[in-house]
């Protein structure tokens, strides 16, 4: 068997299944049979618009970057991985030699090759080959779906690290979509004493509540009127107006972590920032997070499987990419390329 | 009623109950009826030796600094506290104007007045008066004993902060006495993924296991042979040899937090410290920890009541101070001055 | 002699010299004869508008918070200061017991009493009384003017600390007014390898150049076209548009320190903040900076005297507060109450 | 020309000049003609003992790791370097994929290939080939010797970073050998307000004084009697007794940075560490320091050339390795392979 099926984005609103050669792993690489791929908002965005900011899909592209699976072959120099191991994939492989890489901020490497980001193919296919050091064995307690969802969990781990969430922190999470729900759980896992999640969708708020957070429906109560004074704001809505409002509730010396994407500009109150000496920090993906993400998911501190609303086969990728139109309270949608 | 009973250390091995006037709270102070006082190793040390390093008991002294109770009277300028509130006391009141105080390190204030440390009287009596900002209301979920034991919990919170214990950390705790058992729980509350506690006493190790930690009996297996490579060592034994050995297991860039007292010198492997770029940090009490300690105890993340082995009344303070001689596996001993 | 002269802001555009009693220092205070008071933009703002944000001058107010002078009397409990000592005053005395004070962030104390900020009188008078721990002896190398200008230098020290300016840093300073010129020098004193100062006023740019900085006239070259990629942006213009533009030049993981006041909102590019993981930090005054400021000024690393454009006596305070209208390139204006 | 001369350590006290093939640079490498190699204590130690700790010279080895020179050939994929450029070499090339490398701590990479450390040959030869990203162009202001001595300067930069030396810091440097003298200058470049250097050798102390430091002859005055209370101790002596004594002078919350090697154990006062909450940090080489080191040397903030006591040709390497026996106050000895 030398060929596999891949879901290829050929144009806006056009994903076609193609036969492609199964990649051959290099000496430091492993070949992974993809078991599960979570669909991310950015996948949907490429499907609908063909671009995200400067990244333009100008030739056929395989999407998908939240992937778990099983090692089927290892390169000759690979130690510590073997065929049969269940694994999670860290989807961005950096250049390893620029200033950012050498300083440990490989997420900021200008030469990073990131799954499903033009011009690099992603994981919505049957097999991918990856450098072994970006492939992490997972314990049996983690499902394939959870192995894939370690990617958004990594975003939350990174955000909590940059936001110095620690024991006793009070955390405000704006936006109860998948990343917000993961961020809320991750904040608790970092020791937060109180987590409030905002949204306008009652089902999503109910999901947040089930995970142990307090919730606030900002369609009826403004966040400033809630009386909650967070040490850390994990902004997961990407909504500029929601961001401006939420920032104005943060405690002196609090941290604002900007996770949600989608706005071009965010307008902040300069006197508020200054009088409270707030720190506002943008986050971009993650670095050095997988071991922690695995630990949090394996211990049950963060529940990933229950965020999965629906599963699709590879043939139904377009359906997976459009679920949110029919069902705005759907959380995570997962594609299983082998089914 | 203007007088109260106080347990006064008059000489080595001599504690006598005296009648003393109930203090009158100043305008910024509150008067607290003491409900519970945990006995600490330092209390025992003063009782047995009359001194700890430079601190010499050269006149009668009331011991005790782990205290919870109830507000009975508030000074005229006090806001936010009222008679009837159940509270925990932070036992060291700093000068508020030296370089250390102004930098937020008030634990290092050379002028701090600390309960039960010569020449300042402590809490083994019926009433104490304290500046209101060192008195913290506690929720009903916390017993008086737990309110008192927020003091050793604060030591652990401070240690975990200085050691940057965070989600996914692997933590080694040397010594399964009360502070070690609290430190292990606190490490979990800060997100630690794996906590190993060492000791030679099987009952204490069993207690650690019950709290969710893995354990290692170092009378049979050297810590270096355990294979555990911690990111953080919370040294709670105060034993110089155990410290030296444990340091040699810490991961590159790991942190060694020296909590346990009792040794004069600690000998460290210079090549090991250098080749692994370890950080070794001494800790002295705590600063700004009570709100976090309250949150950890109130949520059940840290169990304090189950560390209490025995209770005594004020009349039985000397018995409380000598329990450890009969029962080396006793954990926390608590005096209840009102009973 | 029991009375002194004070310059009192009675209404917008109305400063009158009044006779007032010389204050009597409390037991922990010292009485200082004011030698020099730098005029700050906020003094001018109160003079012209009667308010800054929520701070409203609704009764007569003495302005001035950049003060140096000489101790003339010390309270009974004061150690370490004596009459005749030349000193610099830290103008904000915090409550010493709130959460911010105890954490070492006394600049964020909600109860701080700050010179020349309603309702607290400032230093534009002959004598002031201050808690001794906010009064710092200065070496003879420092003039009275320099002693006063340790206050804006403290702002710059604080900003460089929060911005982690260190050896080798590349620093962009937007705005070549007094605070920008001090910030540029301070950045060099923290080890910055390259400092670029922007402005549109040629005299101010020339002043920056004389202090060793490179300069950029942003009326002819946009900062984004300069090719300079700073690690740290010290924003001293308070201009919202200049801020937005300058932020877009900062290096990955760079820090933006918002010093300049005056804008209500600042609009930031969310994708730029995220893709570069910038940190944006508001600063409010300073904490624990005087010893460093004294060291920098005393060693000559930061030149303060040469920033002084003109001197005035107390009678000419209104003239001092309006100099900038005639001479927009004037830098620091100083009032000498004793002359 | 395909062969070159190399100084090969064949046995203890036996360095022989051998003809070896000039290396061919790989696609990401550059070939450098070595202009200058500083001799380090570790080179001397290998020459005299054949080992340092676990590193044993069990086959012929070229020593030398403080190297500057000129690019003579570049691999096909190399951008940003070209033949003719004068450069400095960072002598340790890490694996780029282990946990330490990915976290930015590549100095702790267990697979690092470090010049002149068994089994990896160093720079005491005419040509070396290096990955281009470990080769840094230097400005003409820097001599070849200075380009080589950026290596020990990097050690000092790293130490000052880990020790948080900043504007106003008071720094104690124990040991006025080459690394101590570089550390003292580097501390000033990081903004230190006061630097005291200790030694027992009057010529070395004189050299320290010439560089602007205060000095203390610890053969006549114990460091504890000097009255100096440093925020940071940069320990450059490697002497266990000197270290113990110096630690006991450090200010509360001060940092002890262990640079000097040579002792097996260092004994520290546990009560002192705890009561002052000192941080003791081992350092091992450096990471991400070259750009800063270049800036400090190019600006003249750190003087490197004047530390060079003597020069030797490649034929005289053994003489260079034994200078210190005749002349204990000799500072840096440099070999120029091309002369």
Start-end of H helices in chain C = 41-49, 99-102, 144-162, 178-189, 202-210, 240-247, 270-275, 290-298, 317-326
Q: What is the pTM of this model?
A: 0.97
Q: What is the DSSP string of A101-112?
A: HHTT-GGG-TT-
Contact call for residues A47 and A99 (beta carbons, < 8 A): no
Judge contact between B150 and B68, C-beta under 8 A. yes
**How many whole angstroms separate alpha carbon D234 and alpha carbon D170?**
11
Domains D3-142+304-336 and D155-282 share a fold: no
- With an 8 Å Cβ cutoff, is D108 touching chain A? no
Q: Answer yes or no: do A299 and B160 touch at CB < 8 A.
A: no
Contact partners for chain B, using 3 or more CB pairs closer than 8 A, are: A, C, D
Task: Note whether B157 contacts A166, CB cutoff 8 Å.
Answer: no
The ipTM assigned to this model is 0.97
| Closest to A32 (Cα-Cα) out of A125, A127, A116 | A127
Query: Across residues B280-305, what is the average pLDDT?
Result: 98
Among A253, A278, A284, select the one facing C274 at the smallest CB separation: A284
Distance from CA of C287 to the nearest CA of B (A): 8
Rounded to an integer, what distance in angstroms lies between the CA atom of residue A256 and that of residue A232?
Answer: 6
C161 to D166: CB separation less than 8 angstroms, yes or no: yes
- Measured distance CA(D331)–CA(D310) in Å, rounded: 8
- Distance (Å, whole) CA C79 – CA C89: 16
Please give the radius of gyration of chain D, using alpha carbons only, rounded to the nearest integer: 20
By CB atoms closer than 10 A (0-12, 13-18, 19+), residue D127 is: buried
Locate the chain D residue with the closest alpha carbon to A95.
D96
Nearest to A258 by CA among A286, A280, A228, A287: A280
CATH 3.40.50.300 describes domain B3-142+304-336: no
Best B271, B283, B286 member to test D by mutation, with max D CBs in 10 Å, is B271
| Separation of alpha carbons D249 and D244, rounded Å | 10
Q: Determine, for residues D104 and A99 on separate chains, whether the beta-carbon distance falls below 8 Å.
A: no
What six digits make up the tokens of A91? Answer: 């989807």
pLDDT at B1 over 90: no
Interface of C with B in 280-299 (CB under 8 A): 287-288
Quote the CA–CA distance of A131 and A129 in Å, as a whole number.
7
The four Cα atoms A142, A311, A202, A240 give a dihedral, to 10 degrees, of 90
Across the interface, whether the CB atoms of A98 and D287 are under 8 A apart is answered no
Tokens found for residue A153? 């969990």
From the CA of B283, how many Å to the nearest CA of chain D? 5
C301 in contact with chain B, both atoms CB, cutoff 8 A: no
Q: How far apart are CA D157 and CA D288, in angstroms?
A: 10
Neighbours of chain A (3+ CB pairs under 8 A): B, C, D
Give the pLDDT of chain D (339 residues) as one tens digit per residue: 899 999 999 999 999 999 999 999 999 999 999 999 999 999 999 999 999 988 999 999 999 999 999 999 999 999 999 999 999 999 999 999 999 999 999 999 999 999 999 999 999 999 999 999 999 999 999 999 999 999 999 999 999 999 999 999 999 999 999 999 999 999 999 999 999 999 999 999 999 999 999 999 999 999 999 999 999 999 999 999 999 999 999 999 999 999 999 899 999 999 999 999 999 999 999 999 999 999 999 999 999 999 999 999 999 999 999 998 888 889 999 999 998
Residue of B nearest to C132 (CA): B97
pLDDT over threshold 90, residue B174? yes
Superfamily of domain A155-282: NAD(P)-binding Rossmann-like Domain (3.40.50.720)
Q: Cα–Cα–Cα angle for B156, B158, B160, nearest 5°?
A: 70
Q: Indicate the helix (H) or strand (E) that contains D184.
A: helix D178-189
Which residue of B141, B155, B167, B229 is the best one to mutate when testing the A interface, meaning the one whose CB has the most A CBs within 10 A?
B167
Q: Where are the domains of chain D?
A: 3-142+304-336, 155-282
Residues C293-338: tens digit of each pLDDT: 999 999 999 999 999 999 999 999 999 999 988 888 899 999 999 9
Chain C residues with CB under 8 Å of B98 CB are 133
User: Which residues of A fall within a CB distance of 8 Å from C107?
Assistant: 277
Report the DSSP pairing between strands B55-56 and B51-52.
antiparallel
With CB atoms and an 8 Å threshold, state whether B133 touches C104. Answer: no
Q: Are D247 and B249 in contact (CB under 8 A)?
A: no
Torsion angle of alpha carbons A241, A244, A246, A247, nearest 10°? 170
Taking only the tens place, the pLDDT of each residue in C178-219 is 999 999 999 999 999 999 999 999 999 999 999 999 999 999
Residues B176 and B234: beta-carbon distance below 8 Å: no
For chain A, what is the radius of gyration of the CA atoms?
20
D101 → chain B, closest CA residue? B252
- Please tell me the distance in Å from A300's CA to the nearest CA on chain B: 11
Which pLDDT band, with edges at 50, 70 and 90, does C1 fall under? confident
Q: Is B37 on the interface with A (CB under 8 A)?
A: no
Residues of chain A neighbouring B190 (CB-CB closer than 8 A): 166-167, 190-191
Residue D69's pLDDT is 98
- Average pLDDT on B68-97 reads 98
Residue A117, both tokens: 């980001």
**Strand pairing report for C135-137 and C86-89:** antiparallel
Q: Which residue of C has its CA nearest to A263?
A: C270
Inter-chain contact C97–B96, Cβ cutoff 8 Å?
A: yes
Are A234 and A257 a contacting pair, CB within 8 Å?
A: yes
The tens place of each residue's pLDDT in chain A, 339 residues long, gives 899 999 999 999 999 999 999 999 999 999 999 999 999 999 999 999 999 988 999 999 999 999 999 999 999 999 999 999 999 999 999 999 999 999 999 999 999 999 999 999 999 999 999 999 999 999 999 999 999 999 999 999 999 999 999 999 999 999 999 999 999 999 999 999 999 999 999 999 999 999 999 999 999 999 999 999 999 999 999 999 999 999 999 999 999 999 999 899 999 999 999 999 999 999 999 999 999 999 999 999 999 999 999 999 999 999 999 998 888 889 999 999 998
């Amino acid at each position: 068997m030398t060929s596999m099926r891949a879901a290829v984005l050929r144009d806006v609103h056009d994903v076609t299944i193609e036969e492609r050669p199964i990649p051959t792993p290099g000496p430091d690489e492993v070949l992974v049979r993809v078991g599960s791929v979570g669909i991310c908002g950015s996948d949907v965005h490429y499907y609908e618009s063909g671009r995200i900011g400067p990244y333009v899909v100008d030739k056929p592209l395989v999407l998908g970057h939240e992937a778990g699976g099983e090692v089927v072959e290892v390169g000759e120099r690979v130690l510590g991985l073997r065929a049969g191991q269940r694994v999670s994939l860290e989807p961005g492989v950096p250049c390893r030699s620029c200033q950012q890489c050498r300083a440990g901020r490989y997420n900021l490497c200008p030469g990073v090759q990131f799954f499903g980001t033009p011009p690099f193919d992603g994981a919505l296919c049957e097999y991918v080959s990856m450098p072994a050091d970006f492939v992490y064995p997972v314990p049996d307690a983690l499902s394939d779906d959870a192995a894939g969802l370690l990617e958004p969990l990594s975003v939350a781990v990174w955000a909590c690290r940059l936001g110095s969430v620690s024991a006793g922190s009070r955390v405000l999470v704006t936006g109860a979509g998948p990343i917000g729900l993961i961020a809320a759980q991750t904040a608790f896992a970092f020791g937060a004493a109180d987590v409030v999640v905002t949204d306008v969708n009652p089902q999503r708020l109910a999901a947040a509540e089930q995970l142990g957070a307090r919730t606030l429906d900002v369609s009826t109560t403004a966040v400033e009127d809630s009386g909650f004074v967070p040490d850390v704001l994990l902004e997961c809505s990407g909504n500029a107006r929601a961001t401006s409002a939420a920032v104005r509730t943060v405690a002196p010396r609090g941290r604002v972590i900007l996770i949600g994407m989608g706005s071009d500009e965010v307008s902040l109150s300069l006197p508020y920032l200054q009088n409270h000496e707030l720190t506002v920090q943008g986050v971009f993906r993650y670095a050095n997070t997988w071991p922690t993400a695995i630990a949090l998911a394996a211990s049950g501190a963060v529940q990933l499987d229950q965020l999965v609303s629906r599963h699709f086969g590879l043939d139904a990728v377009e359906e997976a990419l459009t679920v949110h139109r029919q069902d705005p309270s759907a959380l995570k949608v997962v594609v299983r390329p082998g089914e």
